[in-house]
Amino acid sequence: MSRDDTIRGHPSTGGFNFPQRNFAHLRSLTEDKGLWEHADHSTPRPEHGFCTDDNARALVITAHEPTEDVTLLAEVYLRYVLDSRRSDGTFRNRRDSAGSWAGETGSDDSQGRAWWGLGAMAARAPQGWMQEASLEAFESCAAFETPHLRANAYAALGAAEIVERTRSFQPAVDLLDRTTTTLARATRSAIPWPEPRLTYDNARIPEALVAAGLALGDERRIVSGMRLIEWLVGHETTGTHFSFTPVAGRAPGDNVPAFDQQPIEAWAMADACHRAFVATEDCRWHELALRAGKWLLGRNDAKAVMYDEESGGTYDGLTAIGVNLNRGAESTLAGIGILQVAAGLGNASN
C-alpha cells in the first residue's frame, strides 16, 4: 500500500479537513535551470542559486502527482539532478543563477537525497523516459557510501521505492540492504536513539528502516524502526500536538518547547507514521500521521498556521511569536508532502 492509496475503514470522527494541494508557489520558485533554494517572503532569491538537495526533494513530491502541469515541473527537477551527476556516480550540489556548478561532490546528505529522488522517479514517474533515465542513473548507486545516518536513510527511501515494485533490480536491493544495515547497527549500539541529540529530519531514520523491512520482507528492520518511531513520537509530543526538535537540535533535558521548528520535521513525522500504519494496520498511526499534518495548520506550540492556502507556500520556521514569513523551497515542498500524506490517509479526523 502506498500513500496514494485511499485508506478505507479508518476511524473518522470528522471536523478537520486538510486543504487541497496547491503548486502555484512551487511553480513561482521554478525556472528552466531548476528550483530556487530561497525566497524573500514569496519572491525567489536568485543570488542564492539552486541545490541538488531541494531539486531531489521536489522529485519525491512530484512523483506522487501525475498531473500534466506537475509533470512539467518534475521534468525540470529531474534534468537538474541528472545534470548534477559526475562520472564517478556522485552528485554536485550547488549551482549558481547562471547555471554554473560550484565545487565538486556535494555533501553526503545531498548524495542520499539525489538517490531518494531518483528512486521515486524510477518507481512512479508518469512518463516512461523519466522512469528509464532514473533507473539508468541508479545503476551507479554502488558509489554511495557514508557513515552519516540521515544520508543513508534518504538513499534507503529511494531504493525502497524501486524494490517495493521489483526485487529484480539488484543495484537498488544492494543499496537498500547496505544503507539500512548501517542504520540498524547504529540503533542497536545506542538506545533509545542512535545519537546523543536530535538534529534534523529525525523521523527519516526510523521511516527508512520500516520501509526497508516492508520492501525486503525483513521483520527485524520493521521492529527496529518501530521502536525508534515510538520513542520519537513520545519525545516530540506535548499534550495533544507535536512539538518538534528546533533547528538548533535537542538534547535530553533541554527546555520544551523550543524554536525555530522546521516544516521538514512535520513532513518526516507524517511520512514515518504513515509508514508505521502501513506496516502495522494500527489506526493509532493513522491518527499520528494526521496529527503531524495538523502541526502545519496551527496545532503547534505557537498555534500558528504555517501554510498559505492561497499560494501553496509553506513558511520557513515556527518561532515563539509566530512564523518566519519566507517561503523557500524546502519548506514549501514539506508542506505539499504533508498534504499528500493527509490525502492518502483520508481527509477527516478528530
Task: Tell me the pLDDT of the chain averaged across its residues.
Answer: 93
Residues 6+ apart with CB under 8 A from 53: 93, 106, 109, 110, 113, 330
Domain that holds residue 274: 24-345
Q: How many domains, the chain? A: 1
Model pLDDT for residues 78-110, shown as the tens digit of each residue: 999 999 999 999 999 999 999 999 988 999 999
46 in any annotated domain: yes
2 in any annotated domain: no
Answer yes or no: is pLDDT of 15 > 70.
Answer: no
97 in any annotated domain: yes
pTM of the model: 0.94
Answer yes or no: is pLDDT of 12 > 50.
Answer: no
Residues 6+ apart with CB under 8 A from 115: 138, 141, 144, 154, 155, 158, 159, 175
50 in any annotated domain: yes
57 in any annotated domain: yes
77 in any annotated domain: yes
Model pLDDT for residues 132-154, shown as the tens digit of each residue: 999 999 999 999 999 999 999 99
183 in any annotated domain: yes
CATH code for the domain in which residue 102 is found: 1.50.10.10
Cis peptide leading into 271, omega within 30 of 0? no
CB contact at 8 A, 136 and 180: no
Indicate the pLDDT class of residue 9, thresholds 50, 70 and 90.
very low
1 in any annotated domain: no
- Calculate mean pLDDT across residues 260-278: 98
